[in-house]
Amino acid sequence: MNGGVGQSIGVTYGFETNRVSNRTRDYALEAYGWQMTGRSNAQILHNAWVSKIGFEGMRATDVTYFTGPNKNQSYVLIAREIIVSAGAIGSPKLLMLSGIGPRQHLEDVGIQVVTDIPDVGSNLKDHHFSVLEYNVTNAVDTI
């Protein structure tokens, strides 16, 4: 390698999301966070771990979350709209902790069932992921 700083030409790894408007991959904050900066009805919370969605009947009404690395303080945020976007593992986990999922499984672990949806948390498959790195000469364009 030449020690210079290059740019990726289509491969990256980390926690990222797809931006539908232009079909690119990006981090969630970069893809959506900027849209919230001037809004009075939206707020970004750092170091907040959601543990449960609260319901009144079938309507989601609030979110319980913890702060800090030790999760030592909990808060309840009441919201008119709740969007779950915790990924392929976190979203089904949060839904099941909140009572949405396979009835028998929820009852077996003592979670009150809000609605029985057997497919929540099923069919998760590992995705193949590999990284190939090459040293190239200065004559190879990597931009």
Q: Find the mean pLDDT for residues 39-46.
A: 78
Summarised one tens digit per residue, pLDDT across range 86-118 is: 888 889 999 999 999 999 999 999 999 999 999
DSSP state of 60: E
Q: Which residues contact 41 (CB under 8 A, 6 or more apart)?
A: none
How confident is the model at residue 119, as a pLDDT? 95
pLDDT tens-digit profile of 46-65? 778 899 999 999 999 999 99
Chain length of the chain: 143
Q: Which DSSP category does 28 fall into? A: H
Q: Residue 5 pLDDT more than 60?
A: no
State residue 47's pLDDT score: 77
Contact 97, 81 (CB under 8 A): no
Rg (CA), the chain: 20
Mean pLDDT taken over the chain: 79
Torsion of CA 114, 117, 121, 124, to 10 degrees: -160
Contact 120, 97 (CB under 8 A): no
List all residues 6 or more positions away from 116 whose beta carbon is below 8 Å from its beta carbon: 101, 102, 103
Read off the tokens for 104. 């028998």
Instruction: Break the chain into its structural domains and give their ranges.
Output: 12-44, 45-116
Residues 113-117: contacts with CB under 8 Å, at least 24 apart = 114/55, 114/58, 115/58
